[in-house]
Structure 1
Amino acid sequence: KTARCREDFLHKLSRQIVNENQVIAVENLNIKGMVRNPKLAKAISDVGWGMFTTMLKYKAEWEGKTYIEVDRFFASSKTCHVCLNRVDSLSLDIRQWQCQHCGTCHDRDVNAAQNIRNEALRILRLCSVQVLSLGTSDTACGGSVRQPGKTSVLLDAVPVESGSPIL
């Protein structure tokens, strides 16, 4: 019963996020590796992160929305979203920190979310520039955004030349 309740909640939440947004950006976390940590395993398993990202991805692709995974090695928590200064080390128990360069006080999770959003928008702009230089109206851009070996519906998109009638 608990698993069905969790799955129902994740379906509803992922549907709401896909319905309300054109671009969905998530951090590509190593969930399997994180579950090996005995202190975090139960909490991570209980929320169903992997299932949630899978639901987000297929629902976004189904609706024609853009789903972007930011690389797990992108320092989203350690980088100041205001001045882009990067802290050398930041242990997990530190939930708030102050940038030594610009003095901005950051909540770790809010700062990481803003950095993930900014990185996803940068990737999206980069993809748009590449598409424009090819002279196509295709918006699919794979590159290093997605995990290698995992295929996507967007990667199978056929480019349509600008100005050609759509059948």
Structure 2
Amino acid sequence: MLEGYWLYAVIALFIIIPLAIYAGMLLSQLKKQTANQAIAEQEKQAALKKHDTKVLNSVVIIVRAMKEEQCELSEGCWRLSVLLDSLKLSSELNTLFPSVYALYDGIKHMPILEERKKLTKPERMKLDFERMKLEADLKSKIQQDVGQLHQYATERLSVISA
């Protein structure tokens, strides 16, 4: 009778030991996979920070140019809107700087570069008048947004680089 228990114990060991080894291997794989995911996430965040730093530096340059009137409001708002929309670590900026986006929304349908050259002179003048009227209507609000945007971009740069 005792021999039967030993036989069952030996059979159980032949089953349990390989299962334990297999479980250990799976746990080891899981640990490696988790570590690799953490490294990949860190690399992704670093890439996003690098991208946003580059964009925010460009925003600061454009904002300064707009403040010093070296850049037209419409061109600055166009560029700022596109840059701000490309930020990876920030969102909902159209609600923080509504006037910048309002001007951009008002002029984004207008042709530029070669497409603009194809227009007749009266068509260009009509679009220029539309753009200038929109700029005049939004000028003071845009200037406020630009001031706030400069502060926002500077603060975000210091947070990202920290």
Normalised by the size of structure 1, how large is the TM-score?
Answer: 0.31
Which is strand-richer, 1 or 2?
1
Which is helix-richer, 1 or 2?
2
Which structure has the larger Rg? 2
Higher RCO (C-alpha 8 Å, min separation 6) = 2
Normalised by the size of structure 2, how large is the TM-score?
Answer: 0.32
